[in-house]
Copies of this chain bind each other. A is one copy, B any other.
């Protein structure tokens, strides 16, 4: 799946992933009204609104970007109906041949992480049959519990030829409270994110697909921390970096250069609200709510240009 992701990035010249993180305040009036009039102002109504909103965006951008990243929390907040919308979104994106990165940030003790890995990337075996639960292509994984919590995902990735992105240095303002802590490492000291980066690198080298330069095991490093990105790029040469925090969170194209390898690969940059709620920004207000998906398409094109310029490709 990492090779498919890379091939799509190259074909589209777009190391871009669109974060499908629908908040109700982003959903245009006409979609919300239609959903609520059909299902009432209920969780089912909210889930229908979210699904229709996503579908419009996917239809408008699937030929421009290689991948989408639905953030499961935004669906989970609507309970079971929300999670049904999450699953519908995954299935629809896969129909459109988009690579789906499930932003689930799971991580637990061994047997429990195995259940998450099976549910999101793998299949459960029941009698003579087997079934995929959510069936994303990649998942994000939290490393706080150590290798016990990550290895079950690695095993499923190897079986299914899928991948993970391990949280190393997250994009949020408080990420440094633990991740930047200086940690004893032999006779020297390193920030915790470098320790985690080193663990990711070891897993990455162990889980390489048959061909290609990059591992099934990638990392999450926020666009908002370009200096750390530069260091981590060197610490994890076999890992693709998923870079959130571009756009609404403050990261800019020029900040991104160090996340990429010399081959121009090695990173994929996420933008969520900057694209999916583009019509609410002054720059794209001309589209209005009715044409929100066209605004998203325009925002993708602008992001592609920004990143292309930063990488010296344009």
Contacts and interface: CB of A to CB of B under 8 A. Distances in A.
Chain B CB within 10 A, most for which of A74, A77, A149: A77
A195 interface: yes
Contact of A41 (B105, B129, B146, B174): B129
Contacts of A189: 184
Contact of A145 (B36, B83, B174, B196): B174
Report the interface size class on chain A: 35 or more
Chain B CB within 10 A, most for which of A73, A132, A177: A73
A287 interface: no
A274 to B, nearest CB: 14
A42 B124 CA distance: 9
A112 B80 contact: no
Contacts of A143: 144, 178
Contacts of A134: 76, 79
Given A43-B124, A145-B175, A146-B174, A133 B181 contact: no
A36 B142 contact: no
B107 A24 contact: no
Interface of A: 21, 23-24, 36, 41-43, 45-46, 71, 73-74, 76-80, 82-84, 87, 105-113, 115-116, 118-120, 124, 126-129, 131-134, 142-149, 167, 170-179, 181-184, 189, 192, 195-196, 199
